[in-house]
Amino acid sequence: VSGLKAELLRLIAEDGPIPVSRFMALCLGHPRHGYYLTRDPFGAQGDFTTAPEISQMFGEMIGLWAAHLWQAMGAPARFALVELGPGRGTLMADMLRATRIVPGFHAAASVHLVETSPVLRDVQAATLSGKAEPAWHDRVGTALDGPVIVIANELLDALPVDQFVMTKAGWCERLVGLDGEGGLAFGLAGQVLPAGTSLQMRGEEGAVLEQPAAALDLVSEIATHVARSGGGALFIDYGSLQSGFGDTLQAMRRHQFVDPLTELGEADLTVHVDFARMVQTALQAGAAVQGPSLQADFLLALGLAERADALCRNATPDQARAIGAAFDRLTERGETGMGDLFKVLALSHPGLPPLPGFDLHRLPEQG
């Protein structure tokens, strides 16, 4: 029995079944046994691959988007460049390389990384060594100071959600309890939520509704700051454009889906992001919102195809094939293609002009 499994079994035996959000938070963030606190999970040898790890072009496009936003902000002499959940630090390194050509951007930027994993903090420090002197934060609040540009790729999907199931009697919370055979099982809370609580959507019997409280709080905090102090934020994640029902909790280990209740602390746990609710929350907090766009549309509008062509011109045939394959993967369409599955949402101070990458706005030619 793994350390985390033993702890969960004891905790539930003593205190009773726990909410899905607590289960997710412990699997991902337990201080000793949590998934992200014990490993570098990226790449072919790891559990999953993210867009910045597929190609440098991803971070380069986002870097140019950030530079455009900074210019739209009036090129402030100081601003905080904040990344949430920076993984291996690759996205930030690529952003910084792409923005070297933008006069004044690096001198104005102070780099802040919000990261809970000490293992990944070390990887980030190594990746960014000689390129930036980041300050690390446990929570976003301490990184939000003055005008900001906030970037988060695949962070919202790692934040815990609660789940509710529609029964004949009303919404019941889904809990993680014991299966009686030494393992864990999903069950329902005995009590039905009173009508008029925040779960106003009506579902058919068996429908599952997810409440992404942590992600909504984070988006609200950033939107409030941006509306007050200037700047903007970009969230990229897989998820849906419209709110709906469904259990989206999934576990991935070594690039395969596994049962979320078995490989405790050894598999990545994520949910699909409900972008419609993120938009609503950001607007309520006073920010302007653009998107969500499909990742493929966003990257193509920023000039991904032109960048791939430019890189291919100086590449060997093997390198050119790799660049082509990365381009295809980042923009692949269809239900499982990254280009359609991933969405991009921008928040900004309401006084700023529309930002590039959404609809027909394109970046101006760079030097």
Ligand X SMILES: C[S@@+](CC[C@H](N)C(=O)[O-])C[C@H]1O[C@@H](n2cnc3c(N)ncnc32)[C@H](O)[C@@H]1O
Sites of contact with ligand X (CB under 6 A): 28, 36, 50, 52-53, 84-87, 91, 114-117, 120, 153-155, 158-159
Q: Give me the least distance between CB of 42 and ligand X, in Å please.
A: 6
Nearest to ligand X of 154, 162 (CB atom): 154
Q: Give me the least distance between CB of 48 and ligand X, in Å please.
A: 7
Nearest to ligand X of 158, 233 (CB atom): 158
Q: Which amino acid type is present at position 263?
A: E
Q: Which of 232, 183, 210, 200 is CA-nearest to residue 72?
A: 232
CB contact at 8 A, 211 and 205? no
Q: Give me the least distance between CB of 36 and ligand X, in Å please.
A: 4
Q: Give me the least distance between CB of 234 and ligand X, in Å please.
A: 12
Nearest to ligand X of 85, 303 (CB atom): 85
Q: Give me the least distance between CB of 264 and ligand X, in Å please.
A: 16
Nearest to ligand X of 87, 356 (CB atom): 87
Question: How far is Cα 130 from Cα 367, in angstroms, rounded to an integer?
Answer: 25
Angle at 75 between CA 70 and CA 79, to 5 degrees: 70
By Cβ distance, which residue is nearest to ligand X?
A: 85
Nearest to ligand X of 253, 349 (CB atom): 253
Nearest to ligand X of 159, 223 (CB atom): 159
Query: 104: phi > 0 → left, psi -120 to 50 → alpha, else beta; which?
Result: left
Nearest to ligand X of 72, 222 (CB atom): 222
CB contact at 8 A, 68 and 58? no
Q: Give me the least distance between CB of 60 and ligand X, in Å please.
A: 14
Nearest to ligand X of 115, 165 (CB atom): 115
Nearest to ligand X of 94, 297 (CB atom): 94
Q: Give me the least distance between CB of 350 and ligand X, in Å please.
A: 27
Q: Give me the least distance between CB of 1 and ligand X, in Å please.
A: 25
Question: How far is Cα 346 from Cα 355, in angstroms, rounded to an integer?
Answer: 8
Q: Give me the least distance between CB of 268 and ligand X, in Å please.
A: 7
* The two structure tokens encoding residue 268: 């990545």
